[in-house]
Amino acid sequence: MAAIGGRVLLTVALLLGACGRHDRIVVGAKNFTESDLLAEIVAQQIERRLHVPVERRLHLGGTFVCHQAILAGQIDLYVEYSGTAFTAVLKHPPVVERDSVFHQVASEYSRQFGLRWLTAFGFDNTFAILVRAADAERYGLKAISDLSRVAPRWHAGFGYEFLERADGFAGLSRVYGLHFAAPPTAMDLGLTYRALADRKVDVIAGNSTDGQIAALHLVALEDDRHYFPPYEAAPVVRAGTLERYAGLARALEELGGKISDDEMRRLNAAADVEHRDIRTIAHEWLEAHVP
């Protein structure tokens, strides 16, 4: 009964744009800036190469929301991260065999879900365990292992997805032996940066390519025990959509390997720190890098 309720909720939430779907491609995005940016780049690339109308469903929700959406056909594609797919969706324990992750994810997605992973963009956006630069200096924090020293006196703050995911807080605290003063404060993901900067919490889990890390004087701690898998971003597309639109795969492959870690950080900063319009950023980047 509750399961049906959840499905209904999701369908209603997504129905808003799902009318007359045969003539357009729907691109989804997760609920953070980088995902919106990549979705916009993908969307504009499709428009300029295929001349097909593209509908954007940006900031849709977390990983699980987007996964349900693409399975249900409410969106045709979105950008996912290999590590996230590996642990959160396919529910494998985090693994150290970094090179095999992408390959394994691609083949299982194809087999289980009828979804295709196209070429990765070229950067690794792993979880960044962030602390204030001042604290890093005062307590000599360089790696996540160092955190276990101060954890008993500190408060952590995380978004809801990180708290629920298998590769999230539970595994992290176990592998690194982190025992905080109290259970972490849960809040909307977007607020965690502000909470850290305002000293409401002492450590958060951000993204390594976030634009605000430098701007807010934060430091990312090194994952010295290699707890997190690689998170390579790539477009994930429904097989049926690839078949229906000739040239879609080729258009998206053009984007493969074109964005480095630093490049992604620059794009994120343009949106989050300089507050520039996402459409403009995507447009300029495409003009410059994919003529």
Partner 1 sequence: MNLLSFYSRNSAELLGLTWQHVYLVVVSTGAAIVVGVPLGIALTRRPAWRAPVLGLANVFQTIPSLALLGFLIPFFGIGAWTAITALILYALLPIIRNTYTGIAGVDPAVREAGRGMGMTDGELLRLVELPLAAGVILAGIRVATVVSVGVATIGAAIGAGGLGVYIFRGVATVDDTLIMAGALPAALLALAADAVLGIAQRRLAWQR
Query: By C-beta, is 193 or 227 nearer to partner 1?
Result: 193
Question: Mapping DSSP to helix (H, G, I), strand (E, B) and coil, where does residue 93 land?
Answer: coil
Query: By C-beta, is 64 or 113 nearer to partner 1?
Result: 64
User: Rounded to an integer, what distance in angstroms lies between the CA atom of residue 279 and that of residue 276?
Assistant: 9
How many residues are there in the chain?
291
Q: How far is the CB of 69 from partner 1 (least distance, A)?
A: 10
Q: How far is the CB of 262 from partner 1 (least distance, A)?
A: 30
Both tokens of residue 276? 């520039």
For residue 124, the cross-strand partners are: 232
For residue 187, count other CB atoms closer than 10 A to its CB. Answer: 17
Query: By C-beta, is 68 or 119 nearer to partner 1?
Result: 68
Query: By C-beta, is 30 or 238 nearer to partner 1?
Result: 30
**Cβ–Cβ under 8 Å, residues 115 and 236:** yes
Q: Residue 214: phi, psi to the nearest 5?
A: -70, -45
Query: By C-beta, is 65 or 85 nearer to partner 1?
Result: 65
Q: How far is the CB of 87 from partner 1 (least distance, A)?
A: 13
**Cβ–Cβ under 8 Å, residues 34 and 208:** no
How far the first Cα of the chain sits from its last, in Å, is 52
Query: Where do we find the tokens 């492959």?
Result: 253
Q: How far is the CB of 48 from partner 1 (least distance, A)?
A: 34
Question: Mapping DSSP to helix (H, G, I), strand (E, B) and coil, where does residue 289 land?
Answer: helix
User: Rounded to an integer, what distance in angstroms lies between the CA atom of residue 43 and that of residue 35?
Assistant: 12
Positive/negative CA dihedral, 65, 83, 121, 234: negative
Q: How far is the CB of 173 from partner 1 (least distance, A)?
A: 16
Residues in touch with partner 1 (CB under 8 A):
2-3, 5-6, 9-10, 61-62, 64-65, 67-68, 157, 159-161, 163-165, 185-188, 191, 194-195, 198, 200
Q: How far is the CB of 135 from partner 1 (least distance, A)?
A: 18
Angle at 96 between CA 91 and CA 101, to 5 degrees: 55
Query: By C-beta, is 200 or 276 nearer to partner 1?
Result: 200
**Cβ–Cβ under 8 Å, residues 237 and 115:** yes
Q: How far is the CB of 57 from partner 1 (least distance, A)?
A: 16
Query: By C-beta, is 66 or 213 nearer to partner 1?
Result: 66
